[in-house]
Amino acid sequence: MPGHPTAPPGPRPVETDEASGTIVLRTPASCYVLRLDRTAGTAWNVHWGAPLPLADAAALPVWADHDDSFAGRGDGVEEYPVEGGARFGVPALAVRFADGSSPLEPRAEGIRITDGNHVTVSFRDRARPLAWELHYRVPATGDVIERWTEIVHTGDVTDEPVLLLQYASAHWPLPQRAHWRLSSVHGSWSAEHRLGRSELAFGETTLTSRRGHTGHHANPWAMLDTGSADEERGEVWATALATSASWRLTAQRTASGRAGIMAAEGHEGVEISLAPGRRHTTPVSAATYSPDGFGGVSHAFHAYVRRHVLPHGEETRPVLYNSWEATSFEVDEDNQTDLARRAAALGVELFVVDDGWFAGRDDDRAGLGDWTPHARRFPRGLRPLADEVHRLGMAFGVWVEPEMVNADSDLYRARPDWVLHLPDRRATELRHQLVLDFSRPEVTDWAYGWLRELVDGCAVDFLKWDFNRSFTEAGAHGGGPDARRVHIEHARGLYRVLDRLRADFPHLRVESCAGGGGRADLGILARTDQVWTSDNTDAVDRLTLQHGFSQVYPASVMASWVTDSPNPLTGRRTPPAFRFHTAMAGVLGIGGDLARWTAEETEEATRLVALYKDIRAVVQHGRQYRLLAPGQGPLCAVQYVAADARETVVLIWRPSTSAWSAHAPLRLCGLDPEARYRDEDTGAEWSGATLAAHGLPLPGLPPGDCASALVRLRRSSPAED
């Protein structure tokens, strides 16, 4: 536009050197180099790290020239190692042919580039009817590279199926280094996303979920560094897998110092029978390299999720109220209407009715599967409540658990064969419920039908989509050699239902929940708008949960509630401001019993909701900096900076005074050093340079445990000379 400088052109996403077969994938901060070797029938990784000139990348040798008959020549450097030949690492592709043989002998077919940013490298077995394509894509903006693989049975109808034993999305080879450290999250129900960093062991380290869903105990991402990186400095390599099914990430470290990450859908024993003419496409594995530490990796993933994963990443999420902790299963039209009026008075924008609204649902032992309004509690149906919520100026949402059924339900009595089961085994009930087989089209058609009727007939704007138990007795309907593929096909059925619903109702927004944070991944985020981080709403525990969650996922998808004190799960007492400040670090929700709040609590909550609305654009769409990690000192602090650096928000918590000592000023990040920033509450002004070099003087915190503060700084003028 006239009067505005033109942004400098970014790097060309793909460059090639035909003579050497070298392909260079570029992002602003990284360079990924692979080389097609037609003689060896494979592709080698040459470099992944800081940018290199094309000429240098084409001239670099492949580190695969050692002469060791006990190690594979390509171990650690092959882009997509198959089982066969002198390969002794984890295979990306392993099969079993009809005659029982398994080795593959690849032949490189060629390279195809489409749209300027999508590279396809093709292979086939030299004698057997199997081909595979490695796909690489560089999204238009950001520092993330996407990879996936397509595997095709190329035989005719008279050929036998090929059994896929392993079918990874990608192998990400890393450079040779003396030391490697692995970062990942671990946990359990109500204790998800606990960040851990430890030296990567020699051999193979596997992170996995065998549960049929993403899981609470690990999450499908991993980061590797050389042991010296911190939040702002050091090289870090990371990958995340876009699947909500069972999954497996294997980090490998060789004796020579090579490392790599194999990213795969499914877990061991989940096999796929590939018939002639059929194609299997893996989920996307997204990866990034940053020279700017763990914070740099997070910035790349946050931007990627908002721009390229979420259906509506540009939207600002509303303030939500959920009725579960106020009414549990005792929901009815009267108490929900009362809560809705109280929530609207606080400034809430989305009112969600939780469990208990449907037929037979007087406790958790019955009703799942019978998705019509409870006749006694909602004799007029849900529409009058929805209309009242809309009249109050809020959107209307409901809790659903479409993938589950109680044995005490009309659905189960009519269709017991729809659950995951094995004919000669008793079905295991967990939480008094069973899992419906979403790999079956008749089941997903049923789910889509009643969900469409619910959303349309009851004017629903928002679904909290829950999933409250893992798979047991999981075999595909009809059995067969790949009966366990339900561990991946169930999630694909879920995706089809969500995709159909969102196409029919563009206004509909969805929150992913699985007993808390058991389904948080790039696959589900491509079809939902936010995730329920954990059933643990304790504001102190949440600091640790949210720290781990933020390593890959942005604040705009992290739902976080303010609930009552003492906390219903932990019994911990915390003041309202501390609870609000913790929840304001993501998408603010309220889940307390508003009918019991005092006038003082209601007044403070109203003020804090209004404050959140003032800062949420920065929190949800700005760049996040983890200034002080929870548990590593007396304070925890996080900062958000607007894209234009005009505003910044700093949240500070002191969970306990037991180890309290005077703390240095907080050195802020991402500000314009030449500008001055004014504290919105105190009027104090500081230059961006001072706030970065010296730091923000700590605001006074209230006395005692669980104290917190929120600081808003807005650019006021250019800095003085």
Catalytic residues: 466, 535
> What's the CA gap between 668 and 692, in Å, rounded?
5
Q: What is the CB neighbour count within 10 angstroms for residue 191? A: 18
Place of tokens 């709040």: 597
Taking alpha carbons only, the member of 287, 286, 254, 280 closest to residue 266 is 280
Please spell the DSSP secondary structure of 111-168, one letter per residue: EEEETTTEEEEEEEESSSSEEEEEEEE--SSSSEEEEEEEEEE---TTSPPEEEEEE-
Taking alpha carbons only, the member of 702, 669, 717, 671 closest to residue 298 is 669
Crossing angle, helix 333-346 and helix 383-391, to 10 degrees? 20
Q: At 630, list the tokens.
A: 């929870």
Taking alpha carbons only, the member of 555, 531, 117 closest to residue 299 is 555
Taking alpha carbons only, the member of 268, 227, 230 closest to residue 248 is 268
**Please, are residues 123 and 92 in contact by the beta-carbon 8 Å criterion?**
no
DSSP 318: P
> What's the CA gap between 592 and 608, in Å, rounded?
15
Task: Give the alpha-carbon dihedral of 277, 283, 284, 287, to 10 degrees.
Answer: -130
Place of tokens 């109500």: 190
Based on C-alpha coordinates, what's the Rg of the chain? 27
Half-sphere exposure of 354 (CA within 13 A, CB side): 19
Q: What is the CB neighbour count within 10 angstroms for residue 362? A: 13
Amino acid identity of residue 243, one-letter, is: T
> What's the CA gap between 609 and 581, in Å, rounded?
10
**Please, are residues 553 and 187 in contact by the beta-carbon 8 Å criterion?**
no
Q: At 471, list the tokens.
A: 């798979």
> What's the CA gap between 474 and 245, in Å, rounded?
13
**Residue 414 belongs to what H/E stretch?**
helix 410-414
Taking alpha carbons only, the member of 678, 623, 613, 615 closest to residue 645 is 623
Taking alpha carbons only, the member of 252, 244, 266, 247 closest to residue 224 is 252
> What's the CA gap between 492 and 513, in Å, rounded?
17
Place of tokens 């009817």: 129
Please spell the DSSP secondary structure of 599-616, one letter per residue: HHHHHHHHHHHHHHHHHH
Cβ contacts of 613 within 8 Å, gap of 6 or more:
319, 347
Q: At 577, list the tokens.
A: 């401001």
Taking alpha carbons only, the member of 406, 432, 490 closest to residue 209 is 490
Strands (E), 175-315: 181-186, 194-199, 203-209, 221-225, 236-241, 247-253, 259-265, 272-274, 279-281, 285-290
